[in-house]
Structure 1
Amino acid sequence: MLVGKSGRGGGKRSIWRGVPRWARVCTIFGVVLMVLSGAVLIGYNALVARYEGAVRKEDLFGDQAAGATEKKSDIKGPLNILLVGIDPRKPEDRPLSDSIMILHVPASLDRGYLFSLPRDLRVDIPKFPKANFSGKTDKLNAAMSFGSVVPGQNPDPARGFELLAKTVQQVTGIERFDAGAIINFAGFKKIVDAMGGVDMYIERDVTSEHRKPDGTMRELKPGGGGYLGPQAEYKKGNAHLKGWQALDYVRQRYPHNGVPDSDYGRQRHQQQFIKAMVSQAFSADVVTNPVKLDRVLRAAGESLIFNGRGNSVVDFALALKGIRSDSIEMIKLPGASIGSGSAYKGERLLPAADDFFAALRTEQLDAFMLEHPDFKQKNS
């Protein structure tokens, strides 16, 4: 639930207050497409008045320093959009970016490439004077934590996003992001439930580490070290997932599930779910049902912190109107672990990932994917 803006003296009022722990989340891409579907029925002006006001805007890229604001311009491709989900705990806790995705849209604006960066990727995080951070080598998800520091106030996820964006730019060579978004758990769950759930294919049997079959949380073992009680199960095959089930499923990566690729498997599940969610948002069951559509759009607006660098989420929706779920290519970047077992230090990308980033920057991804089909995300 959104809770106002920053105040003086009393610190920043956190939008994450009372929100439980979560892992992987949907992206603004799904939100954009849902907003677009609403525009067809209620018209652009009404859409802006009703839903644009519900989307929280923050300076995610540091554009408003010294009172400057970035001028609005027509949205033209190619586009790079940074999508981040955080793990909200207590307002005084610094956020960690638990999901880091990039949506690349070619100049034609008719398709997209979606890829994840491992949250445990070892990177050089640059210095960030705004948070009195001198820079260091650490896991990628720590960048948001280091950048979120505001002396005398609660940590600011928007400021943390700025340092994370700078770090991701160093990793990928992307000079500038055209938009960015942070999405919270509570709003995301509402979106899924407002749609009546999401249909997707479960690639292998999975048991939940955190949830019981009824969706309630499992109890921690005395002294920690695991959980107690029955576990929710997700069986291989077609499934209809409620909001809590979808979030629980895409967060699983534990050895007890027999998943050999750990966090890369979780990235795959996350991307599969996003694609299913986009398809569901455009289904006749949602688009032709005014009551359900209204619930979906309101939940989408309330779940989002967005910065379009001068353009609104609705502007992006109209610019990306030619994209559908079957024109989104899911990408798996090649990587490997650093260390093992108790000596695990994180993840690294293999040299071929640099070739992918070079193709992205030069608008050669179509040709690159023809030559490197192994980069296409597989279902298992």
Structure 2
Amino acid sequence: MSFRGHDDGRSRAQRGWQRGGRREHQATRMMPLPGGGNRPAGRARSSQATARQPHRPPVKPRPARRKRSRMPRVLGALAAVFLLLLAAAWIYVDLSLDRTEAITDYEGRPAAAAGTNWLIVGSDSREGLDAEDRARLATGDDGGEVADTIMLAHIPDNDTKPTLMSVPRDLRVDIPGHGSGRANAAYSLGGPTALVRSVEQLTQLRIDHYVEIGFAGFESIVDAMGGVEMTIESDMHDTRTGRTVEAGERKLSGEEALHFVRMRYSDATPRSDLDRISNQREFLGALASQAASPGTLLNPFRAVPLMHAGPQALTVDDSDRLHHLVRLAWAMRGISDGGVVTTTIPVATAAAAELDHARAERMFEALRTDQPVPEDLVFE
């Protein structure tokens, strides 16, 4: 009995403890609310703790960093390299130009006037040509260098069109120290200096720049450009040399171009030298237009050979620089589309040996003052 009573007592005590603990636990957890009802004590403490903490705005997540593109830096580096190469090429060409003393001061030299004047000379120099080349190009024997082509290019300071004026090779001029003679003989007698002075005295126009090219240089420049595109109106056969330039839309090679600009004994050139110099101006316009085109300047397979051939082919005055040549080429590119007035010095005879002084003076005065050349003086 005692054993069972002992167990019962323990059970009642245990049950009492459990009931009391449960009531105490409930009393601890349940707290009265101000408006009635109870709230769990744990939540009350949590709310009080939250109320005591300062308000903090929610933290926004940082956006993911975008990877910076390397393309602008790559393009910038490529542009810098391109500019350095361009500058190096420019300096190379400028320093490689063959220079000579062509323009000098002397007593009685014409005063500087409006615009800029170039003397463009194509000599019949055979320098750089062996016997096989001379036969191929039909240059004939070397009987002394003469100016095969003489042109005066006037670039105005205003919006007047540039003018390209040919000087017939047989025109009689005063040659310093040698009296009267043909214009092309001035070169053989006194070199570029005598030719410049003869043209200045003839026209009373001061020559500011000088450029010359020989047979070999002419062929190399044309070939470096991959040929020059032209439209030949009719077949041209030279009875002296036996060479023929076929009609049609053609891309003339250096050899063909040389035959074209020198031809004067053919049915296509009845005026002989006058027709020849007209063809020379036409070809110069096509050459300048193609040389200054993006297809040449931006094509390394054209630009690089041209930069190599140009300095070896051209001779300029001591004072001339590459940017002068670029400006000349840019001005002359308009020959093919009428942007340049092309003409010949007015002559009095069909043989182009005597100057028409009255008409010639009107033309020279227009050039000295940057005025348009009168239309009645434009002579092909």
Same fold (TM over 0.5): yes
Q: Does 1:260 align with 2:260?
A: no
What is the aligned partner in structure 1 of residue 340 from structure 2?
Answer: 328
Q: Does 1:192 align with 2:222?
A: yes
What is the number of residues matched between the two proteins? Answer: 276
Counterpart Cα distance in 2 of 1:58 and 1:248: 27
Counterpart Cα distance in 2 of 1:348 and 1:41: 52
AA aligned to 1:83 is: I
AA aligned to 1:138 is: G
AA aligned to 1:313 is: L
Offset of residue 52 of structure 1: 1.1
Q: Does 1:81 align with 2:118?
A: yes
Counterpart Cα distance in 1 of 2:283 and 2:262: 11
Offset of residue 329 of structure 1: 2.0
What is the aligned partner in structure 2 of residue 314 from structure 1?
Answer: 323
Q: Secondary structure at the match of 2:354?
A: strand
AA aligned to 1:162 is: T
TM-score normalized by the length of structure 2 = 0.65
Deviations 1:116-171 (A, max 9, x none): 100100122232xxxxxxx2211111111221xxxxxxxxxxxx110111111111
Counterpart Cα distance in 1 of 2:155 and 2:180: 30
What is the aligned partner in structure 2 of residue 12 from structure 1?
Answer: none
Offset of residue 284 of structure 1: 3.7
Offset of residue 44 of structure 1: 5.9
Q: 1:356 aligns with which of 332, 338, 363?
A: 363
Q: Aligned pair in 2 of structure 1 residues 316, 300: CA closer, same or farther (>3 Å)? A: closer
Tell which deviates more after alignment, 100-109 or 243-252.
100-109
AA aligned to 1:87 is: D
After superposition, residues 1-380 of structure 1 pair within 5 angstroms as 45-62=87-104, 78-89=115-126, 94-108=144-158, 111-127=161-177, 135-147=178-190, 160-174=191-205, 176-209=206-239, 231-235=243-247, 237-254=248-265, 256-257=266-267, 259-307=269-317, 309=319, 311-317=320-326, 324-325=333-334, 326=337, 327-337=339-349, 347-350=353-356, 351-364=358-371, 366=372, 368-369=373-374, 372-373=375-376, 375=378, 377=380
Offset of residue 201 of structure 1: 1.7
Please tell me whether the aligned partners of residues 127 and 216 of structure 2 are also in contact (alpha carbons under 8 angstroms).
Answer: no
If each structure's helix is expressed as a fraction of its own residues, which one has the higher value? 2
Q: Aligned pair in 2 of structure 1 residues 206, 99: CA closer, same or farther (>3 Å)? A: same
Offset of residue 62 of structure 1: 3.5
Please tell me whether the aligned partners of residues 253 and 259 of structure 1 are also in contact (alpha carbons under 8 angstroms).
Answer: yes
Q: Secondary structure at the match of 1:138?
A: strand
AA aligned to 2:199 is: V
Please tell me whether the aligned partners of residues 285 and 333 of structure 2 are also in contact (alpha carbons under 8 angstroms).
Answer: no
Offset of residue 315 of structure 1: 4.5
Structure 2 alignment gaps of length 5 or more: 1-81, 107-112, 129-141
Q: Aligned pair in 2 of structure 1 residues 210, 52: CA closer, same or farther (>3 Å)? A: farther
Please tell me whether the aligned partners of residues 77 and 105 of structure 1 are also in contact (alpha carbons under 8 angstroms).
Answer: no
Q: Aligned pair in 2 of structure 1 residues 271, 41: CA closer, same or farther (>3 Å)? A: farther
Please tell me whether the aligned partners of residues 117 and 208 of structure 2 are also in contact (alpha carbons under 8 angstroms).
Answer: yes
Counterpart Cα distance in 2 of 1:204 and 1:58: 39
Counterpart Cα distance in 1 of 2:286 and 2:152: 18
Q: Percent identity?
A: 33
Report the structure number with the largest CA radius of gyration. 2
Please tell me whether the aligned partners of residues 238 and 244 of structure 2 are also in contact (alpha carbons under 8 angstroms).
Answer: yes
AA aligned to 1:58 is: T
CA RMSD of aligned residues (A): 3.0
Q: Secondary structure at the match of 1:257?
A: coil
Offset of residue 111 of structure 1: 4.7
Offset of residue 61 of structure 1: 1.9
Deviations 1:208-266 (A, max 9, x none): 3466xxxxxx6xxxxxxxxxxxx42422x322211110110111111x42533111100
TM-score normalized by the length of structure 1 = 0.65
Please tell me whether the aligned partners of residues 111 and 323 of structure 1 are also in contact (alpha carbons under 8 angstroms).
Answer: no
Offset of residue 294 of structure 1: 0.7
Offset of residue 322 of structure 1: 6.6
Q: Aligned pair in 2 of structure 1 residues 322, 102: CA closer, same or farther (>3 Å)? A: closer
